[in-house]
Amino acid sequence: MKKITLFLLLFTFLVNAQDNVQAELDSLQNVYENLEYNTIAFNDLKNKWFINDPGFVRELFNKFAVKNAFRVDGQSVDLQTVMQKANEVFDGDVIVDLRRRYYDEEFDYFAFVSIKEANKVKPKPLFDPIVDGFYLKEIIGTRLYDKIKEKSYFFSDVTKDAFESEYGYYFDVNLDLLEPEIMFWSTTSSIRDKYLLSFKGKWGYDQIMLPGWYSAEYIAGMQLTYYKAVGEDPLDYTYRIFLGTGMDVSKPFVKELPDLPIYRNGETIYGNISGDVLKFLWDELEGYYLNFEMLTQYTDYQYKDYGITDVDAKFNGVKNFMCLSVDKRKLFNLYDFGQFKVGAGLATHDLYRYEISQATRSVIDLEEGRDELDLFQHYGYIKFGVENNGGLIQHDINVLVGMNSLDTYLYSGLDAKFMISNTFGFHVKALSAFGVPDYRTWRNSSYVVFSPVLRINY
């Protein structure tokens, strides 16, 4: 009986002691969690980004492996599971989901996630997330922790910002003679989305090596841009529609015109539709922007419309133009130089020959009787470049290389824009062709055009 009584007393003591220890732990946990002011209501506004730099992700993953810090439901992870996830890291299929605390620079969320989860509202982590910045620093060390803060690696910012504070979503005046745009009206249907309406202009077509001064035509019209979710990058739109018409303008470089120049020979309508639509066919194609551009002439000029007084003058004219292209931005980071991007496209246009008869005061179509399809010239091109939208100086540099399939001549060029604080800058285009046959000299084999840029954006 004494032994039973002693056992019961000892058991009661241990149970009470365990309860007291648990109570103390709960109390300490409560104190620790309240060291930071609870900002759960601001979770959606906290600074949030994904680390997409494969090398940096490997380094972070390795620190967790060395410290045996991987947990699933609070339990240690076996080596086989870690090796399996490591293979995904090797393939570049793992990124890091980060969230910064609301009131300071520390972190309150860190998790390794599959790249397939990145587009979801709540990406599912591969392991238990780290919700304590100080514990995270203990695992990865001060050097890596500070490197995360510096953002000196490739990352994607997915912070939710109120659209009122976003870049260029109220009023945007972009005074660039080559591609001017005045965004004058915006609205929203769900707070996060945005519709923008702009006046826009366009001068020339680099895809077919046709600068604006050869055709004496300037495109002007209206553009509608839609953002499903506004962000820091104004080029991350969902879709964009530009409709315009051609306008007669004088040719600024008359001495540079070829012997058989090209003239605008009728009223035209222009259209351009682009958007991030390929993702609806395949999720992996998100961010590949499909672009379709076209120009068509719906009326022909008469003799009096040209104003040409030269005797029996001959010239060329383009009635139809089309281009289909795909562009991909932000392929990878070139460190401080910016983000690398690529694109490719196919283009085509017809080319008519005309003669002014002063005797009959009429316009003679020298291509009359020919099959219209035989008048088309086809082009294929690729382009690549780098852009940087941050810092004091912004730049957007593009290199284009193409080929004419009819006469197999090559052409290449540069399209570059440099801005200071996104306010003052310049825009330059240069293109040269190689091996153009003499009978195709309806334009010169090279050109350079330059425009200052003034931008007001808020």
Tens-place pLDDT, residues 334-345: 877 888 999 999
pLDDT, position 2: 57
Angle in degrees, CA 33, 34, 36, rounded to 5: 95
Rounded distance between C-alpha atoms, residue 124 and residue 321, angstroms:
47
Beta carbons of 69 and 85 less than 8 angstroms apart? no
Q: Strands 339-350 and 314-317, how do they pair? A: unpaired
Strands (E), 320-370: 320-328, 339-350, 352-357, 362-365
Residue 195 CB coordination number (10 Å): 14
Measure Cα distances from 62 to 96, 138, 313 in Å: 13, 14, 75
pLDDT of residue 419: 92
State the DSSP code for 110: E
pLDDT of residue 26: 60
Give Cα 4 distance to the centre of its chain. 77
Distance between CA 345 and CA 272 in Å, rounded? 14
Q: What angle do CA 224, 230, 235 make, to 5 degrees?
A: 60
Residue with tokens 């060029």: 413
Q: What does the block give as tokens for 175?
A: 């005074």
Q: Give 191-223 pLDDT, tens digit per residue.
A: 678 899 999 999 888 888 887 767 778 899 999
Q: Quote the pLDDT of residue 7.
A: 55
| Residue spans of beta strands (DSSP E) within 285-437 | 288-297, 314-317, 320-328, 339-350, 352-357, 362-365, 376-388, 393-404, 410-420, 424-434
Distance of CA 331 to the CA centre of its chain: 10
Contact (Cβ atoms closer than 8 angstroms) between residue 439 and residue 314: no
Residue ranges in the chain whose pLDDT is less than 50: 31-32, 161-166
Q: Which of 343, 329, 291, 320 is nearest to 208 (CA)?
A: 320
